[in-house]
Amino acid sequence: MKEKNYIKFEFPSRSANEGFARTAAACFAAQLDPTLDELGDIRTAVSEAVTNCIVHAYPDTFGKIVLKMRIFEDNTLEISVRDWGCGIPDVEKARTPLYTTGGDERTGMGFTIMESFMDSLSVTSVPGRGTSVRMRRKIKQRVGAAR
Amino acid sequence: MDIGFEYSARTLTVAPEGELDHHAAKPLMNAIGDRIDTYLPSQCVLDLKGLTFMDSSGIAVILKTYKRMKELGGQTWVENAGRQPMKVISMSGIERLVKIVY
């Protein structure tokens, strides 16, 4: 599938950047003319992915997060969130609903939300090297919408 | 994050405003905990009408408030959640513990 447009930005794993990341993601996605509900889903999924990096990838330090978004010709939006943090030893376990290592400030719902708010989610991780999360969501083309 | 608090008739109403994410969650949890300790209410209402965004960090806040209130033998309610926060709430299954008022 041919790529139509992309953005890539880097920021440190400071929690103050969570709002910026999801808002920037929503601004970029806006060119696909999504509904408010679709935009809400994208903001939520990005917020969960970025929060995971901040809380889990770099628990005691600030590290680099790169967010990349691509738009394909069939109106699919792809969002990749990459960190160079501690990695996830058991990705399958981490994706289990309600499983968390984050104590009572976290709920273990992050991956479950990304999975259900997006069409697909893939997670690759190497302990000690970092984690990459890739999500895709096809934005419905609305009849009568300006292209 | 701005947080409105109101206490009357043994009911503590908490009204956070803006975006509730991991960044905002801890100060909000602490502020709610402080008020619960001060007033020892029998009900805590989380009024979410001022929230423009909430992710799973908001569920952690609701859950923590529920646990705190349960220790006091009190109840927790969530009301006026908008569409986006409501979608996250519905996914979490927290309705089994906390009353959600539409």
Q: Is the pLDDT of residue A145 over 70?
A: no
Report the catalytic residues of A.
48, 52, 106
CATH architecture type of domain A3-138: 2-Layer Sandwich (3.30)
Q: Is the pLDDT of residue B50 over 90?
A: yes
Of B19, B56, B63, the CB nearest to A19: B19
- What is residue A74's DSSP assignment? T
Report residue A78 CA to chain centroid gap.
9
Residue with the bigger pLDDT between B102 and B83: it is B83
For residues B83 and A81, give the distance between their C-alpha atoms in angstroms, rounded to a whole number. Answer: 26
Write the pLDDT tens digit of every residue in B17-28.
999 999 999 999
Question: Where do we find the tokens 């809380």?
Answer: A55
Q: Is the pLDDT of residue B2 over 70?
A: yes
Nearest Cα residue to A81 out of A129, A128, A47, A41: A47
Nearest Cα residue to A114 out of A50, A49, A59, A34: A49
Q: Which residues of B lie inside 8 Å of A (Cβ-Cβ)?
A: 19, 21-23, 25-26, 29, 53, 55-57, 59-60, 63-64, 83-84, 87-88, 91-92
Nearest residue in chain B measured CA to CA from A115: B91
Q: How far is CA B93 from CA A90, A100, A139, B63, in A?
A: 25, 16, 27, 11
Instruction: For residue A43, name the pLDDT band (cuts at 50, 70, 90).
Output: very high
For chain A, what is the mean pLDDT? 94
pLDDT of residue A32: 96
Write the pLDDT tens digit of every residue in B67-99.
999 999 999 999 999 999 999 999 999 999 999
Domain boundaries, chain A: 3-138
Report the SS3 class of residue A147: coil
Residue pair A113/B88 in contact by the 8 Å Cβ criterion: yes
The torsion angles phi and psi of A13, rounded to 5 degrees, stand at -80, 55
For residues B22 and A60, give the distance between their C-alpha atoms in angstroms, rounded to a whole number. Answer: 16
Taken in order of first residue, the domains within chain B and their CATH numbers are 2-101 (3.30.750.24)
CB contact (8 A) between residue A44 and residue B55:
yes
pLDDT of residue A147: 53
Nearest residue in chain B measured CA to CA from A41: B84
**What average pLDDT does range B8-35 have in this prediction?**
97
Write the pLDDT tens digit of every residue in A78-129.
999 999 999 999 999 999 998 899 888 888 999 999 999 999 999 999 999 9
For residues A19 and A51, give the distance between their C-alpha atoms in angstroms, rounded to a whole number. Answer: 10
**What average pLDDT does range A63-85 have in this prediction?**
97
ipTM, 2 dp:
0.93
